[in-house]
């Protein structure tokens, strides 16, 4: 059985049929902020924000006390401090978060070898083969939450369901520090009351398109005639939304254990200070990464952006994608999201790097949709032109202008080298 409190939080509190729900999604609660609170226990109960405070800094994470004021990750820090002026702002400590992530993931891998790490603070687990040793999926979920707290001092939320999509939605509903089991037979009943934004692939623009049709819940989408939905959002997205609306997600948990990457980086003869120049360089690097991914028949799940400043400080930021990609435009769009944090006014940039991590074979994982179909088709057509007539004949308009002089370009290792 499950219960729902006064907010949208929903948790399992008693016996429930989890026999057909072997997929767990485990998500750490306010991970960066929680790690900081382990270092600063005197700040517990206070609103804490992790991120850059000067210039155009953004919020990397916020404690739940800060979230009650409307503070969210990726929000400009200036806006966050207007909403919560009494917040304590702490700098990002990437090494601490990475070390803690390894400890948490090691706990997961002691339960099952089928662990798919999505990002530094979340993972899917397939516990089908772990029942004999560790109990039912719900019992494993309870055990994981207890072990994570006892061994790290952190809390996590767990969704248990028949598919990856539903498990991820369930963990979000259980936050913070909760567990929610969705019996396979109750999948549709669980999904249909939820807002359409719960469906993967529904962003602000798509949500507005659906609202114009009077579709506000997942159930509304499921009941919509396919032809009418296709006219509103196109046949590909309509098909995907209709499948998700009934919990149809055939993707398996894939381990992706090999830590391989494909990337490019450039060092400049003079420091870059113009954001437009930096964006052009990001686009050029993303184009190179995309070409190499497609040549290798691979896709990347995580985009990593590396900056080295004029004073030789080096920082990296990573963004995990909903679906793996080999499309340069997607890689660029993800990388450029970090610019407001990494390049406040007056910044001097000596080196930029872009790489794709979490590599897998193209077409693996049974993706529910391809959000980059049009860009992928265009880029593959350009690949064919380059293969026949040589590189450089077709390129993005933004790269026709010559960017900053580069004194060196280094490549990350290809898989197997």
3-state secondary structure of 356: strand
Residue 204, preceding peptide bond in cis (omega within 30° of 0): no
Residue list for the binding site for Mg(2+): 27, 121
Q: Distance (Å, rounded) from C-alpha 379 to C-alpha 352?
A: 23
The DSSP symbol for 412 reads: P
What pLDDT score was predicted for residue 256?
61
3-state secondary structure of 220: helix
Scanning the structure block, which residue is given the tokens 């999948």? 187
Q: Tens place of pLDDT for every residue, the chain, 417 residues?
A: 555 544 578 999 888 999 999 999 999 999 999 999 999 999 999 999 999 876 567 898 999 999 999 998 878 888 999 999 999 999 999 899 999 999 999 999 999 999 999 889 999 999 999 988 899 999 999 999 999 999 999 999 999 999 999 999 999 999 999 999 999 999 999 999 999 999 987 877 788 889 999 999 999 999 999 999 988 888 888 888 999 999 999 888 988 645 468 998 888 878 899 999 999 999 999 999 998 888 888 888 889 999 988 887 888 888 888 788 889 998 999 888 888 888 888 889 999 999 998 888 776 544 555 556 666 666 666 666 555 545 554 455 454 444 444 543 444 333 333
Residue 42 annotated among the catalytic residues of the structure: no
Bridge-based pairing of strands 298-309 and 122-126 is unpaired
User: Choosing from 36, 65, 116, 122, which is the catalytic residue?
Assistant: 122
Q: Tell me which residue of 94, 95, 96, 70 sits closest to 81, measured CA to CA.
A: 70
Residue list for the binding site: 27, 121
Q: Distance (Å, rounded) from C-alpha 343 to C-alpha 315?
A: 11
Six-digit token string for 85: 């002026």
For each of the domains in the chain, give its residue range(s) and CATH number, in order of start.
7-30+95-189 (3.30.70.270), 31-94 (3.40.1170.60), 193-244 (1.10.150.20), 261-411 (3.30.1490.100)
What pLDDT score was predicted for residue 414?
38
Task: Give the long-range contacts of residues 292-297, CB within 8 A, separation 24 or more.
Answer: 292/262, 292/414, 293/262, 293/326, 293/356, 293/359, 294/326, 294/362, 294/379, 294/380, 294/383, 295/383, 296/262, 296/414, 296/415, 297/361, 297/362
Q: Distance (Å, rounded) from C-alpha 271 to C-alpha 259?
A: 31
- CA geometry: angle 198, 200, 203, nearest 5 deg: 80
What pLDDT score was predicted for residue 377?
63
List strand residue ranges (DSSP E) for 151-249, in order.
156-161, 179-181
What pLDDT score was predicted for residue 376?
63
């Amino acid at each position: 059985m499950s219960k729902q409190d006064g907010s949208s939080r929903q948790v399992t509190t008693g016996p429930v049929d989890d026999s057909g729900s072997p997929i767990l999604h485990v998500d750490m609660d306010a991970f960066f902020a929680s790690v900081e609170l382990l270092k600063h226990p005197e700040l517990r109960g206070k609103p804490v924000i992790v991120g850059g405070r000067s210039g155009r800094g953004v919020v990397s994470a916020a404690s739940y006390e800060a979230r009650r004021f409307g503070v969210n990750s990726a929000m400009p820090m200036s806006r966050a401090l207007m909403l919560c002026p009494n917040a304590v702002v702490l700098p990002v400590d990437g090494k601490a978060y990475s070390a803690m992530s390894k400890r948490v993931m090691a706990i997961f891998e002691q339960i099952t070898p089928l662990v798919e790490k999505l990002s530094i603070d979340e993972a899917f687990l397939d516990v089908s083969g772990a029942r004999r040793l560790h109990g039912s999926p719900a019992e494993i979920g309870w055990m994981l939450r207890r072990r994570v707290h006892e061994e790290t001092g952190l809390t996590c939320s767990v969704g248990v369901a028949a598919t990856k999509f539903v498990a991820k939605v369930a963990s979000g509903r259980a936050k913070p520090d909760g567990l929610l089991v969705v019996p396979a037979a109750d999948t549709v009943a669980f999904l249909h009351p939820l807002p359409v934004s719960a469906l993967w692939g529904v962003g602000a623009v798509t949500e507005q398109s659906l609202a114009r049709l009077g579709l506000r819940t997942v159930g509304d989408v499921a009941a919509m005639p396919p032809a009418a939905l296709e006219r509103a959002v196109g046949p590909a997205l309509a098909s995907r939304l209709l499948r998700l609306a009934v919990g149809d997600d055939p993707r398996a948990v894939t381990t992706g254990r090999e830590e391989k990457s494909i990337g490019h980086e450039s060092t400049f003869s003079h420091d870059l200070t113009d954001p437009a120049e930096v964006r052009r360089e990001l686009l050029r690097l993303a184009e190179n990464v995309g070409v190499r991914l497609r040549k290798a028949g691979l896709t990347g799940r995580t985009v990593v952006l590396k900056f080295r400043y004029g004073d030789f400080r080096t920082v990296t930021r990573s963004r995990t994608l909903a679906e793996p990609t080999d499309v340069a435009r997607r890689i660029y769009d993800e990388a450029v999201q970090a610019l407001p944090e990494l390049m406040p006014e007056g910044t001097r940039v000596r080196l930029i790097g872009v790489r794709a991590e979490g590599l897998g074979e193209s077409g693996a994982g049974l993706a529910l949709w391809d959000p980059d179909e049009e860009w992928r088709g265009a880029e593959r057509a350009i690949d064919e032109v380059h293969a026949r007539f040589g590189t450089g004949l077709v390129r993005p308009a933004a790269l026709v202008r010559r960017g900053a002089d580069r004194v060196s370009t280094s490549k990350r290792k290809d898989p197997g080298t």
